[in-house]
Chains A and B, each alone.
Chain A
């Protein structure tokens, strides 16, 4: 069981790669590079030192945008959820902002920050802030009254109540929200880099196309985006599996 559960995805992966190869080779127009050309493309990027440089550039922007958003949005959302009247006041505003794609902010962020890291980080920040604030708001509102009452009953001060009841109550929901939002941030950084900066994996993709239709490098860039996205998600998931957070899954299952 154990082996087959690992073998099966590997087999599917190999089969799809082969199918890709066969489809490209058998068609007259080269609509895609072959898998091998992509591998060579990655090797070339690595050799020129661009691979590390672009990956680091993208991760740098995501880290800053995401971290600043988390630091501001989580306390903000928790506060709103905690004082329910605050939520009623701000919620309509958040709901109007929510359907606006973060990419719609690209012109404004370039206007404010110019072409460069600032604009890209600001976009990541925008893309992360709302989902995190909404998650934190819901989590704060969902703290059970019995738990708050029990906390008060045992003589907790307001600060202790926040640290010993609110915080542990909301943690599992926050971790899920952080994981989903990091995925969004990773999607947005690529788009932002296509327009607002001159480095990073998103830039690599447009640049490879503009400078001589190097579609092997385009697909190499796409592949790297997928791989790193996968790693980020795995990292967040292992956070959610920490022992102290297991009750959250047990309670919701």
Chain B
């Protein structure tokens, strides 16, 4: 309990020195929105470390600040105080090495499927562009729709398109903000399976915001549980079930119930 301890709690990124595998380090991040003289304290002292190749879900009640945190890490918003480092360097803005996937609204409606996927590939030679487009069209199952416009696709297809557009630039991190929130439950399950398949094939570091407890237990290596506003990290739960996960296994149900308790919900509706 001396001054040394104090120092440790002050800087998370220093107190857990970046090992080779640390991808992201968030330390003491606070965010307060000020507008019309009113201020909303959204994030309070957020400390979080994410390893390279890890799949981390951020779970929390609506309006607690999950999107805000993701936007700060993605470089679209600046924190009021605190540090965010990726690969040991402070985040200064959006970067093509880490792509933010919005809900399907993020696809460009004026471009075809092909045009969307190659949007970020403008620095590459033509043949490489074409190779990547056809690779990812195939990977997300949009073969035959290369020349279609987004308004000709279903919601799930648009979502896959956006994931393909993100993967095509070969980022090492993906930020997904409730990407499947607008989809029906069947498509949502299929999309989770596809995302896991892609993650296992390409080993990106993934930060995935959701308020769906089942979704987090199905996908994540670790689930970060946030409290209501001002959001702090209540706890971080390791999901120690190998993929593919059996959704009726004892461990799965245990972890899910643990999360329900953590969020303070009863097990009955």
Contact = CB atoms under 8 A, between A and B. Distances in A.
A155 B95 contact: yes
Interface in B158-186: 169
A160 B123 CA distance: 12
A217 to B, nearest CB: 48
A24 B111 CA distance: 57
**Best-surrounded residue of A154, A164, A250 (most CB of chain B within 10 A):** A154
Nearest to B175: A153
Contact of A150 (B93, B108, B122): B108
A155 B109 contact: no
Contacts of A251: 109, 151
B110 A169 contact: yes
Contact of B110 (A146, A153, A160, A171): A171
A149 B94 contact: yes
A69 to B, nearest CB: 25
Contacts of A93: none
B218 to A, nearest CB: 26
B99 interface: yes
A53 interface: no
A160 B96 CA distance: 15
Contacts of B99: 153-154
Interface string A171-195: 1000000000000000000000000
Contacts of B151: 247, 250-251
B94 A153 contact: yes
Nearest to A154: B120
Contact of B76 (A144, A149, A154, A165): A149
A246 interface: yes
Given A247-B109, A251-B151, A149 B120 contact: no
Nearest to A171: B110
B90 interface: no
A147 interface: yes
B106 interface: yes
B159 to A, nearest CB: 13
B252 interface: no
10 contacts: A149-B76, A150-B119, A153-B74, A155-B94, A171-B110, A244-B110, A247-B110, A247-B151, A248-B109, A250-B109
Instruction: Report, nearest first, the 5 A-B pairs whose CB atoms are least far apart.
Output: A154-B120, A250-B151, A155-B96, A168-B110, A247-B109
Given A146-B105, A153-B99, A250-B109, 11 more contacts: A149-B100, A149-B102, A152-B94, A154-B169, A155-B94, A155-B95, A160-B122, A168-B108, A247-B151, A250-B151, A251-B151
